[in-house]
Amino acid sequence: MLYLLTGSHGFIGSRVHQLLEEQSADVITVDLKKGQDLSKNSVFESLRRKIQSAGDDVVILHLAALVDARESLEQPTKYFGNNLAATYHIAQLGALDNVKKIVFTSSAAVYGEPEYVPIDVSHPTKPKSPYGLSKLYEEQLLEQFSEEYGYDLAILRLFNVYGEGQEKGLFGALRRAIETGKTFRIFGDGEQVRDYIYVGDVARAILDVATSRTTGTMNVASGVGVTVNQIVEWVREKYPLAVEYADPIPGEIRESIGKPDIMLPKITKERVWTALEL
């Protein structure tokens, strides 16, 4: 078995790559940080030739994407252009006879404002950001090509992933505040609820799906919601952290909790501390 791993240097992809290396698996890696822009035809053609000449069955783990929902509001063209073009090329690789399965990491952002919680996979999809909309379009594109070419497809809608070395989101902001001693700003009242899942657990779940017959669209979540205030309280038990409250971000989702199809452990104080170790 040969694996094609996109986003291999990313927050989640680097963990998946490490697990594959521990298993001595054959892996082709692709990442923008290596100068490989999957949205470019030249990169696609190079991958197509490698897979055609491999001789082995291939599983594609498609993790590469631009993932900052707030940035996508300011630069929607960048997100649609990059994410959709890259996924179109991955779907085209599915036409090759030895590509047997594609595992795609989507996002809970496809749901938009929840009409009910916990959110199951039949929940309406009404994304509130270009990032979320790009993920939804990518799902549909891969599904259409799967029907045409016959490859197995697993779509994993990840909820809020956290862990060591995270640069974006709540944990990235917390880490920077701890390192610099600057005041940490909470937007709104801090009672926003999210379903946090640990990056190491997510990486293992991705490989479990890749190596099984599991297909379809699945929520990857803990099923447990935690507020920003609770996480900050846990952080302040270990680190000195000044906090201030600011105006809420317009349109921010108030509560997002998944109904897991793949259930991962809930966030804990100890895991928060581990994720923020300096």
Neighbours of 190 (CB within 10 A): 16
Task: Give me 221's structure tokens.
Answer: 């979540």
Written as tens digits, the pLDDT of the chain (278 aa) is 999 999 999 999 999 999 999 999 999 999 999 999 999 999 999 999 999 999 899 999 999 999 988 899 999 999 999 999 999 999 999 999 999 999 999 999 999 999 999 999 999 999 999 999 999 999 999 999 999 999 999 999 999 999 999 998 999 999 999 999 999 999 999 999 999 999 999 999 999 999 999 999 999 999 999 999 999 999 999 999 999 999 998 888 999 999 999 999 999 999 999 999 86
246 near 185, Cβ under 8 Å? yes
- Structure tokens given for 261: 């199809």
Catalytic positions: 131
Q: Which residues pair with 184 in a beta bridge?
A: 243
Give dist(CA 134, CA 219) in Å, integer.
Answer: 17
Residue 7 phi, psi dihedral angles, 5° rounding: 75, 35
- What CATH homologous superfamily does 163-193+224-258+265-275 map to? UDP-galactose 4-epimerase, domain 1 (3.90.25.10)
Q: How far apart are CA 253 and CA 234, in angstroms?
A: 22
Full-model pTM = 0.96
Q: Which two tokens stand for residue 48?
A: 């197509």
All CATH 3.90.25.10 domain ranges in the chain, comma separated: 163-193+224-258+265-275
As given in the structure block, the two tokens for residue 120 are 């199951």
CB distance 20 to 59 below 8 Å: no
Please state which CATH class domain 2-161+197-221 belongs to.
alpha beta
Q: How many CB atoms lie within 10 A of CB 2?
A: 18
Exposed/middle/buried for residue 183 (C-beta within 10 Å: 0-12, 13-18, 19+): exposed
